[in-house]
Amino acid sequence: MTITIGDIVTRQSYGEDILFKILDIKKNEKIAILKGLEFRLIADAPLKDLKKVSQKQIREKQKANKNRTRDCISRIIRQRYMNNSEVRGDSGRAYFEMPGKVLHLDGDKEYLGECLSVYRKLEMEVKGFHVPEKKQSEVLERLLEKHSPDILVLTGHDAFLKGKKNFQDVNNYRHSSFFVQSIKIARKYEPNKDSLIIFAGACQSHYESLLAAGANYAASPQRVFIHNLDPVFITEKVAYTSINYTVDISDVINNTITGIDGLGGVETRGTFRIGLPESPY
């Protein structure tokens, strides 16, 4: 079966566990460049290792992914309603809500579009920009000054490079060093971890170095792949947790699809504010 650019495939040597889209084919080397459909991963693989996926299999995988996403959103909204009821109390007054504002820089345009769609479903205020990982540090300070976010997301693709063995060396990762550079710029702009909350990283990112640089939340403790929507689910919890409370780290991780193997962080104060009274205009 002929495999071409744009085909959806799996890697037989990895048990056909992840769906990939073929971005490019290096014919001389007989290697394909792959992008995960659900996971923030760019990889390469020999053409002989790839297996083309049927339309039926694609539909089944996409349906399962949509169901997981829908269930996650429903759970988040239920939790938010219960938490905000406690914050508001039972006075019956006309309060208004001010969740934290998000600035999201993403190295993948398609992933960014999917994230923005879910942000809207979760009623979050967000500014999203497609910026390659290597370029994020160049535009970050200007975007921070322009949009004054409460929460910053720095993501895209990453991976532990093939043939490398030292997981502690940040230079053995595709984009982790660029995320570190951007975090440091953001922390120079705002050192306080409760005034600017940062999520950084993607699949297999160097978790420890991202936290050490100043991120509140990061990928990936066990160097596993993370779901493309996980940054949204993490930031939602921060955006809708009251400034009077520290966000429960376990709750943040439980709100994600990937879970604790792929995501972690440090104690962080929420960014949600209640206002009173609500204007009739």
- For the domain that residue 162 is a member of, what is the CATH number? 3.40.50.2300
- Shared domain for 12 and 125, answered yes or no, is no
Structure tokens at 42: 């760019």
Residue 2 domain-assigned (yes or no): no
pLDDT of residue 91: 55
pLDDT of residue 119: 97
pLDDT of residue 87: 58
pLDDT of residue 117: 95
Bridge partner residues of 269 (DSSP): 246
- Shared domain for 124 and 220, answered yes or no, is yes
- Look up residue 20 and give its amino acid: F
- Shared domain for 157 and 243, answered yes or no, is yes
Helix (H) or strand (E) holding 268: strand 268-269
Domain span at residue 48 reads 8-54
Question: Rounded to an integer, what distance in angstroms lies between the CA atom of residue 134 and that of residue 177?
Answer: 9
pLDDT of residue 146: 98
Question: Rounded to an integer, what distance in angstroms lies between the CA atom of residue 252 and that of residue 121?
Answer: 18
Helices and strands of the chain, counted as H and E runs: 7, 15
Residue 281 domain-assigned (yes or no): no
Residue 74 domain-assigned (yes or no): no
- Shared domain for 36 and 117, answered yes or no, is no
pLDDT of residue 90: 55
Residue 20 domain-assigned (yes or no): yes
- Shared domain for 217 and 270, answered yes or no, is yes
Pairing relationship of beta strands 8-11 and 20-26 according to DSSP bridges:
antiparallel
Low-confidence ranges of the chain (pLDDT < 50): none
Task: Count the domains in the chain.
Answer: 2
Residue 23 domain-assigned (yes or no): yes
pLDDT of residue 233: 95
pLDDT of residue 147: 98
